[in-house]
Structure 1
């Protein structure tokens, strides 16, 4: 006889969920497609989200809601989703009974370069993490122009960062409702990868999200990565629509006449070249004339000043983060971007200036030693893109955190290669070492997950990952026990500029100063740059 479907009553009404089976063959409850904000339709398009509405009767929470309108990155010609996308999923081992202890909450923010992705089970299945006695939440948020369009004109009330305000609204929903699923609203850990990792860091910077979470894990992304920041999109969108030199209101009125497909077609015309030296055509902006801003200051200035939430933080990166370029670059772009385009825009150079060319020559000599790009130097290409797009920003973040915060910071480097490496299973690249997104396969079941045999390297590596991440969520320390026979290693927090980190391979090893020669190279480049001189070369 089958068990009755799980039912929960929250602030909006009653939900009927369903059951799943985790990798340890235990059942768990899942509630899918829960609205956490009012649908951003009609006059709410591009605007900050509003609180969710109540419903009458019982809401069917057995099916996932729509992702934001996007191109499917696995099936490039397929379009999926809708504008009605502000939904989340909750997974819990069991619903609480009177007297039960509430469990830590893990709140996942997906990546996807601002243009694709969702919290769906096909990518972020709960089957692994629910074994660790935590409550898991995955969310959808607005993407592309729908999530990142911004205007100067205050009367339009579209100052930008709607996607990040979506995430704040979802965190507010968690605070209000998660105890009904057995989750502890006073122990919420936000975590995300790539753009999701950057959003985690931005939530630490934003005054809007203070107090809504208690720990943070930023995987393969932070607010200081050069691809995070964007520009106000009016003139770019106007050109794409043939409305040359149109003002904000004209562009807005034209966009409001478009369908979601029409807005997507405009988005596709905008050149997002993913170059470190250029601000994105749409992305995170510093808000002006906003009634309630997500971000009013430059992230770099906030990080250097220590203006961020002082919560325990875990950060890390993979050997080949630069492989992200292969996923996002357009077919007409070169195999190797111009060297000068790898200089982060926040260094303060004019890309066409003689000074930028001098820096580009230094970068080429350091990474390619005078050789031209070819298949034989593909590894050097990915190392350069890793450092320019990911590692330097992470280093600045780490140093600032230990200079300003008393809360611990745990740093890792992923070198592990097994059949669970997610991105490496998709790309036809033979460069050794894990790729961008590869750690996802150790936290979530997804469409590439193989059969995991007990005692295999996949099984052992998976259990180690789950133990580290869930320990951090529970205790703010990934290795709280004096000795754990599974982990067999202590993960020490970073305490000074002699950077302690965990080397995550088939064994876990505590080491110091990851990639120190490359970090020193970029530290010097930044110190010598116009922006670095203003910052007194402190980093």
Structure 2
């Protein structure tokens, strides 16, 4: 075979014994209880955690690197997760577990295949007579190709002040999490990463009481790809009954980048496999070192422009029955039919999502020309041939709407950001909400995050000197990270942190983000899209970004097949 050698890594290996031995060597298992640290019993065994201090200087408990499934390696690579095995002795749960093998935004290549861990943070361990607390399960973003539940990035110190239990989940990324094959007998229909999330939620249902959490009051929340994952979980029959509210931040299934197409043929070409049968291809992919597999993944050109349907991420599974499928229907059809888990829903976005994607503003002078292919912003949903007359006409409409009579130069780069934000993020969220309104019986709350202060991490990294909040800038006010320095009491940052913690946890507790007897933030209706602008002040309004959304509605009306999007 050209370029690789197929081999069976797990022949004649007692994997269970090997796992236990390696855990002991790494110090993950302890055989002595001589410690003052907290110990909790879960289905699989004993966990020794540690403590931390929240934003108000109160103690909380944390348990890290808790396995919720078997390591997805060897013959389990690419397949649906299996339940975690028991361990012996006391497992050390004081350090973060491995991320899925990936290229981290900050650190380069990190992680391993053995990554199906979750972190739990709780204000108190359960005692007799103490009421169980609401649970918030966090699903990280990263385009389904990077990211993790790392406590250094997603510290619970802000949210946990509001007396909730927080769970942060790792899941498989990239090819490891989203390879899909057509042969049903191979049991790789796709969405293994999403099925990891379902497995984690099942583990939470069975074990969260041990940490003082209420399994009957679980809120799932996530950002970017994590927001899309949250939205997909509401649509998936697999996840039914595992949660009770949902918060999708800067991600929705009707965004152009959220649902993907199979890439196995592309991968076969990259790896120069001489096989045509999917069973032979799968065998070699399962035996290939993860480093080689990742190198192949990075050769797949996965673009976020609306013109392209991405390769790596959630896909509609091509299997004959819904049994065993995370999702096997078009998400829009599921929403329109009302055949999904109807729970209170919060959705929103930042005021300038596209700051995250661009980094040119600091390198250009005002009169420098912006070389923009506007046809890249014609949504692939329209199914138009690139370069066709209609595709070019729509591209020209997009250019005229955002730039008008203005030259396409760096002086007007803010219009470029607005075009990117609307087409890649905002429109899909608005469309998702409007379609849910036709079938949902539960309240839907819309927000726009526009805070512009020192915790806007990604805007700062991109060195963009324009007003507004970038994609992912909301994370700095929900989670404490290593990038957060001292925060002055009563500063803008302090007020936003406390305000968002209150809104998010109120929603988790009762399905309504407003304080008791306060109706500042109204749910959306079919006639009016009520929303809350989360800026340096919190201000309620109606129909955010209306002109831009009306424009995109007109674009989608050009094709009868997409008029309902």
Describe how 1:471-510 pairs up with structure 2 within 5 A: 471-483=506-518, 490-510=520-540
CA distance in 2, matches of 1:117, 1:131: 25
Structure 2 residue 176 is matched with structure 1 residue 176: no
Query: Residue 73 of structure 1: CA displacement?
Result: 0.9
Q: Which residue number corresponds to residue 344 of structure 1?
A: 379
Cα deviation digits, residues 343-389 of structure 1 (max 9, x gap): 22122222232111111111111012254543222211111111111
Match of 2:557 among 503, 508, 527: 527
Asked if the contact 1:107–1:188 (Cα under 8 Å) also holds between the matched residues in 2, the reply is yes
C-alpha distance 297-365 of structure 1, shift in aligned 2 (>3 A): same
Describe how 1:119-518 pairs up with structure 2 within 5 A: 119-243=149-273, 246-289=276-319, 292-326=324-358, 338-371=373-406, 373-483=408-518, 490-518=520-548
Match of 2:141 among 89, 111, 115: 111
User: Tell me, which stretches of 5 or more residues in structure 1 are unaligned?
Assistant: 328-333, 484-488
Asked if the contact 1:399–1:497 (Cα under 8 Å) also holds between the matched residues in 2, the reply is no
C-alpha distance 238-456 of structure 1, shift in aligned 2 (>3 A): same
Structure 2 residue 89 is matched with structure 1 residue 57: yes
Quick check: which has more Rg, 1 or 2? 2
CA distance in 1, matches of 2:379, 2:197: 27
Structure 2 residue 58 is matched with structure 1 residue 26: yes
Say which SS state the counterpart of residue 317 (structure 2) adopts. Answer: coil
Displaced runs of 4 or more, over 6 A: none
Asked if the contact 1:150–1:232 (Cα under 8 Å) also holds between the matched residues in 2, the reply is yes
Describe how 1:47-86 pairs up with structure 2 within 5 A: 47-75=79-107, 78-86=108-116
C-alpha distance 451-295 of structure 1, shift in aligned 2 (>3 A): same
CA distance in 2, matches of 1:269, 1:88: 30
Query: Residue 530 of structure 1: CA displacement?
Result: 4.4
Once the two structures are overlaid, the 10-residue window that deviates more, 402-411 or 3-12, is: 3-12
Query: Residue 143 of structure 1: CA displacement?
Result: 0.4
Asked if the contact 1:349–1:529 (Cα under 8 Å) also holds between the matched residues in 2, the reply is no
Say which SS state the counterpart of residue 124 (structure 1) adopts. Answer: coil
Cα deviation digits, residues 247-293 of structure 1 (max 9, x gap): 42333233223111111100011111222121112221111237500
CA distance in 2, matches of 1:252, 1:377: 49
C-alpha distance 276-538 of structure 1, shift in aligned 2 (>3 A): closer
Asked if the contact 1:502–1:511 (Cα under 8 Å) also holds between the matched residues in 2, the reply is yes
Asked if the contact 1:349–1:530 (Cα under 8 Å) also holds between the matched residues in 2, the reply is no
Asked if the contact 1:17–1:61 (Cα under 8 Å) also holds between the matched residues in 2, the reply is yes
Asked if the contact 2:447–2:532 (Cα under 8 Å) also holds between the matched residues in 1, the reply is yes
CA distance in 1, matches of 2:67, 2:510: 30
Asked if the contact 2:68–2:116 (Cα under 8 Å) also holds between the matched residues in 1, the reply is yes
Query: Residue 242 of structure 1: CA displacement?
Result: 2.4
Query: Residue 244 of structure 1: CA displacement?
Result: 7.1
CA distance in 2, matches of 1:517, 1:311: 30
Query: Residue 241 of structure 1: CA displacement?
Result: 1.2
CA distance in 2, matches of 1:508, 1:133: 23
Cα deviation digits, residues 149-196 of structure 1 (max 9, x gap): 111122221100000000000000000000110000000000000000
Q: Which residue number corresponds to residue 36 of structure 1?
A: 68
C-alpha distance 538-222 of structure 1, shift in aligned 2 (>3 A): closer
Alignment root-mean-square deviation, CA: 1.9
CA distance in 1, matches of 2:131, 2:72: 36
Asked if the contact 2:355–2:459 (Cα under 8 Å) also holds between the matched residues in 1, the reply is no
The total of aligned residue pairs comes to 522
User: Tell me, which stretches of 5 or more residues in structure 2 are unaligned?
Assistant: 1-33, 360-368
Say which SS state the counterpart of residue 326 (structure 1) adopts. Answer: coil
Once the two structures are overlaid, the 10-residue window that deviates more, 162-171 or 360-369, is: 360-369
C-alpha distance 538-295 of structure 1, shift in aligned 2 (>3 A): closer
Say which SS state the counterpart of residue 528 (structure 1) adopts. Answer: coil
Q: Which residue number corresponds to residue 330 of structure 1?
A: none
C-alpha distance 518-416 of structure 1, shift in aligned 2 (>3 A): same
Q: TM-score, normalised by structure 1?
A: 0.93
